[in-house]
Amino acid sequence: MKELAGKHIVLGLSGGVACYKSAELCRALIKEGATVQVVMTEAAAQFITPVTMQALSNRPVYGSQWDAREANNMPHINLSREADAILIAPCSADFVARLAQGRADELLSLLCLARPQERVPLLLAPAMNREMWAHPATQRNLAQVAQDGATVLAVGNGDQACGETGDGRMLEPAELLEEVIAFFTPKLLAGQKVLVTAGPTFESIDPVRGITNHSSGKMGFAIARAAREAGAEVTLVAGPVHLPTPRGVQRINVRSAQEMLAAAEPRAQQATVFIATAAVADWRPATQADQKIKKDGSGQTPVLGFVENPDILATVAQSPRARAGSLFCVGFAAESHDLLAHASAKRERKGVPLLVGNIGPATFGQDDNALLLVDATGHRELPRASKRTLARQLVAEIATRLPGRHA
């Protein structure tokens, strides 16, 4: 799936050591289907050569407003009119100041000023020393360009080229790609607060052993990302998985089913959508040993007693807010066989308007999946695709079912 297919991005580079990241960003944008036209300031060319960016973008790089290659000698007009978006990465403190002042004495700031604001968005990825970032003049300029219609992306925190550590680093190429994709995503869940549970739970037997399952959390994380891209405020309650947190998503890590319930239940009081993708253990050991249970050579196995874990989905779905229609609940069912029958029964039992079924052994740990949507009117399938694709389809489906929305 090329998520930026058909998009034409003007990638502007201003002066900063973060220009080295722009090379990888250019590749990433093109890999996702976008065409990229690079425009560089004179200062940017001190950090990375136009030859490098031309090779990566497969297009001539522009750097002068007097470029004679344009028949009308107006690259600032032609380049801005062709763009679906202008992304300045890196955007230095000096370039932010130029934009705030409406300067137009070199090509990149000139085409930003000349762009049709109503249809060509301007995205800025700041990159500078931590003191420059914190300076009142920079913050004042950033507030001004945002007021003028630019989208100012966040900065990273960490080691800087100068040897200092703090805020001001340009986001990594993968993070910027995620931001660009999110920017272009229709905001179907704007104003919604979405709570997602994801991954397995781990029920301890002793300090080194426990009961868990093969869930990787990939589906839940993909849904959290898709919901955030669709404009929602997203909280992700994650069991023990090793997955990066989607940008813009608040993550809460838990281990056991009881911990997951304790994290999810109060947050469901503020949510408008609850999506329970987590593969929660049905049972946990009745007691947990304080020390590792060892073999004693007798050949006798330890006897483990179990108690039933709380039902997180049913607990939330039966809450007053859910019953009143203020919280839309979506359940997941990972089955091994007879998917439609089991998913339909689970939907009735849990009391949720939408139940999403899948075959666990065919999806746990995989990057793709197939989903079965079951509601009060019947069922339909989402054919096998990447979990990323299915997450976006499911979010769109949920959006049509919310109060005041229509399919």
Contact 265, 274 (CB under 8 A): no
| Catalytic pick among 26, 91, 162, 329 | 162
Helix (H) or strand (E) holding 173: helix 173-184
Q: Read off φ and ψ for residue 10, nearest 5 degrees.
A: -90, 115
90: preceding bond cis by omega (within 30 degrees):
yes
Strand partners, 40: 13
Joined together, the tokens standing for residue 277 give: 């993708």
Instruction: Give the strand pairing for 250-253 and 233-238.
Output: parallel
Is 319 buried (19+), middle (13-18) or exposed (0-12) by CB count in 10 A?
Answer: middle
**Structural contact between residues 2 and 56, judged by C-beta atoms closer than 8 angstroms:** no
26 tagged catalytic: no
Residues β-bridged to residue 197 = 237, 276
Given CA atoms 93, 94, 95, 101 in this order, what sign does their dihedral have? positive
The helices-and-strands tally (H runs, E runs) of the chain is: 15, 19
The residues, ordered by sequence, that sit 6+ positions from 88 with a Cβ below 8 Å of its Cβ are 12, 13, 14, 95, 108, 112, 122, 123, 124, 125
User: Bridge partners of 372?
Assistant: 357, 381
Q: Annotated catalytic sites, by residue?
A: 162
